[in-house]
Structure 1
Amino acid sequence: MNLLHILLLEDSLLDAELIQAHLTDSGIQCELVRVETRTDFLSAIAQHTFDLILADYSLPAFDGLSALEIAHTTCPDVPFIFVSATLGEELAIETLKRGATDYVLKQRLERLAPSVHRALREAKERTERQKAQAALEKLAAELEIQVKLAQQTAQRNANLQALTAALSEALTPVQAAEIGVQQGSTALNASASFIALLTDDNQTLEIVKAIGYPQSIVDPWLRFPLTASVPIADAIKLKQPIWLESREIWRQAYPHLASQYADSPYKAWAAIPLIVEGRAVGGIGLSFQEARTFSEEDCGFMLALARQCAQAIARARAYAAERKARAEAEAANRGKDEFLATLSHELRTPLNAVLGWTQLLRTRQLDPDKMARALETIDRNTRSLATLIEDILDVSRIMMGKLQLYAHSCDLVPVIEAAMEAVRPAAEAKTIQMNCSLDSSTGTVWGDPNRLQQVIWNLLSNAIKFTPNGGQVTVRLSRSQEELAGRSYAEIQVSDSGKGISPDFVPHVFDRFCQENSTSTRAYGGLGLGLAIVRYLVEMHQGIVEVSSPGEGLGATFTVRLPLWVTPKERPQSAVPITVGSSTQPNNPHALEGLQVLVVEDEADGRELIATLLKDCGAQVTAVESAMAALEFLSKSQVDLLISDIAMPDIDGYEFIRKLRALEVARRDYIPAVALTAYARESDRILALEAGFQVHLPKPVNPNKLITVLVELTGKGTPEQEIGNRELLNRELPDFR
């Protein structure tokens, strides 16, 4: 047995020695500390740890029962045995009731050793039982904790499953945010929560859903910059969660917000970024009314919540984008169907007139008035078809980004006047009065005269189409009174007294294929392309086009502003418009008198038309269907002029003219050549001139212009005619319209 430490409360030294002797004789090795007073007893207990307490029942200044009470308070697990000579049976039983381990009479000290052994054994067993009980209680507590954790995990898994199911049905980001904050707050016992999403510029956060917060807290933060020094913005920028488990942590991290949130009811916060494929789209914030340490499970759940919300928001956005794209595709398909129906109508209507009058001319003998009417109708409708095709080609070039400008310093006065002359017959047919006010001191612009004339022509044609008989169309040119971005602008206005434009349709006036009434009951023709082309061409010239209308039935005004290129110079107050074909008429039997002309055209009808036109003007014409036939003819014969198509089956017009020019070098001969082709782009004109043609004329060609060009090339016109013709060739006016 190890050395026992025993506290002995005994006032008799002799009795203490007897007790020591009995214990030693019994084989109990012990260190005995004897005390007599209360003070000494308390001091000994405080300073030492004892295995056993032996106490006399009655002492002069202290008593055993008081010592027993002190021992039970300070060291309840230490056995306490009374050793007394005055202890009767009743007192002995009373001591046992009060908690003594045993009692031994001094007269029978032989019982002391067994009592000590029994007390120590019982104390050891009691200690072991207590340890076992404590271990069991600890295990039970741990099991209870594990059960609670398992229940919490199961509940959170169930919450996540419910969240996933709910988010899968969210159709918009706002719906996804609402589900996220509501179910997240419930699962985490958060007092309040919100979701903020980045706007399209990725520089601003917008709260799309918030619950639990006073409105006074939410309102100042409905929209705020991503650069703001607040937890949610920092979490999004860092792509890392921010845990603020107490107000002290908050104050340390965001001291500049301390006063703002001094009266806040919240004591803990969490901010988690919403990340999709490595890109932050927003963040979720949660607030708690009690300070808390976020456990690993808490953090894991909040991260899972943020991940689920981010994916749901991304899905909702993708779904919204897909719906928008589908709606746009359906609208485009409807627009395409409407366009094709309109195109069919716009093609068939003039074709019906052309074919009908052509059939009448073939099968009946018409009087001169009806014949003139027939020819005028055929001419007008073929021009309409040509315009239609040109608009479609222009839109195709625009959509492919292949429309080019060939710009130089350009005076707008003759451009506008030429466009007015081109539409004057249509205006006269409806007795529409054409007014103009052109300030010749406006200045020049840097632009493509052909395309600018096309802009004015389209605006005038549009005005005439929507103006009733007897109405008015006015064109004005002036220097704009307003400067935009420090630049001066020329301002062109085309106003009419027509049907006007409804306010709802004004924003769509310049859209492609867009017409205010595209149904079968519409009163006006057209494909809805002209104004779209106008806007594109004006913007290519760095200009602006706008429309205004007081309302339906009150007319409309289109305003084009083009940047001025140079300071205005003094000009004559009026310019003489160029009138195509005014100097030479195709039915002049002497215009081409004596000229030998070779026509190369693979299409029989076109070949016959050109040959007939030239013969009517006095030319001697040879017409062949291929470039090979033309080269064979030219190897044996001389001609004064060549007119050739470009697209031909054996070798094209470019290769043909190159071969011809090579032969001419050897023969020291030269034949003026005109390319007459359906390839009507500016780039096609350049290719033709580079290949060796002198002039490029697009089909369909105005007979007046063709004869004028041939007269110019052969030098058969008067000097005045040649000057006008040169201007005509330089301008390439689309007079067939």
Structure 2
Amino acid sequence: MTDVTAPEDGETPLRILLLEDNDLDTELLTAILEDAGLAIVIDRVIARDAFAAATATGCHDIILADYVLPAFDGMSALATARQTCPEVPFVFVSGTLGEDVAVEALKHGATDYVTKQRLDRLPRVILRALSEARAHLRRRAAEQALRDLNGSLEQRVAERTRELAEANAALQHQIAERERIEDALRQAQRLEAVGQLTSGVAHDFNNLLTVIAGNIEFLERAVSDERSKRRLDMMRGAAERGARLTAQLLAFSRRQKLAPVPVQLNQTVASMRDLLQSSMGGSVRIEMTLQPDLWPALVDATQIELIILNLAINARDAMAVGGCLTIETANVQLTAEPSRAEEPNPGDYAMVAVSDTGTGIPPEVLARVFEPFFTTKEVGKGSGLGLAQVYGFAKQSGGGVRIETTLGEGTSVRVYLPRVAAEAVPREVRPVEIDCASARDASDKRVVLVVDDDSDVRDITTTRLGEAGYAIREAGSGLAAIQALETDPCVDLAVLDFAMPGMNGVEVATVIRQRWPQIQILFVTGYADHTALSRIDGDGGEDRVVQKPFRGEDLERKVASILDPRPRLTLVSGGGEASARAAGKARG
């Protein structure tokens, strides 16, 4: 290769690869380009190998080629250039290039052509070819940038779409979780409202039953003919059935009196096999799966037996002849928050499950199974209080209930009861008595203050206690009781109704404990908040509560257990020792 001209200082030369065998044509071509004011550097080659090597370097701006060469031809050169440097413009400069050949050359990739007879056109052709090549390069670069941008956009769109999908999934989860919590809250509020209504109804109903049952006892003493006695027996049976009904209502509303003790559920379940088998009537097979190292449960032993029997009877009614009843116990550690009102909170539980192979429970029924009086059984076949009682018992015990059911396959009711972490050490009971020896004769009767807003119930209570040999004083409200004690505090026992307008029984007991701490307290109630009772008189246990309606001589027995065996002490009023007033003291 031979450099024909060099660029002037300060200019960027145009590098031309020239394929030309004629020296005179080379000089003429160079002169024309220089006369046109172009800064050029020409690399001239003649042979095929030199041309191929020059195009492979990729350092030229344009290729000018003769069409006819001694051992080489322009079309072969064009093919080589299109293969090694396709972006470099290729212009034919030939004296023998006909129009047909020129067209064919353009079809094969030549940029343009110039005849040697019209070399004056060459500068314009070169500049146009370079401009088109640069435009083509810019277009290629723009297209590549666009492709890169599209790829980046697609990636960004994909990433954003994924982010939106994740955000949407999280939002849907939050919405579902919120709906679940709202459903659970609505169910809990509904059950709580029904529970409050139920407990109020049970209280009033127990007052009525107390009057009925008490008067039946009084009438029995005056009736002698057998027919009348049979009728009274029927009335007493109806009152007792009513009492059992209110007990179930109180269980649902979590107002029943429980006596929780550590219970080995395995022993409880095993001891009930014969009872359960007789209840099944031989039509249902009973299986038991009892965990050997079961935790003891803190629960009312009598109530849990009733709950298991209740669930077993429900399971029996859901199965055809030949079904299978399974009772299972297990230690369960729960970590998930409850999704329904009846489910237990996280914690350790001793679980007892009653499962059947019956028809299962439809979803619309499952949502209401714990509501009192809701039942799918025929009229007279069930009260609808069974599962409501299970619910109230489990929640009042500090646990919960879960139901797993599949239509056509069966149902499992799991009752979770709080685990006993350690045996409680019973507190030493040191009762304090009242002694009005300075104001009473030794033959005076013990004084009982009966406080109840229901005059009929109060009449039954005072009549029974009066017949039992006690001196009776009455008050129709908590405030009246406090006023009576301020007049004469010489009272041995206050018998308080729990639910009263104004001051309830617990509030009255609180005042008595503060001002006259030696007066004993006994609650007579159709329902009660036993947590509140335990705070006032927690050391008395069952002996401090008599449930309405009275059963047998339960009232008289508990009053006697509080008063009769104890020695008399000195009455303390207002924090100091005081003698009782003689005025206003009650006599038999």
> Normalising by structure 1, what TM-score?
0.40
More RCO (CA 8 Å, sep 6+)? 2
TM-score norm. by structure 2 comes to 0.48
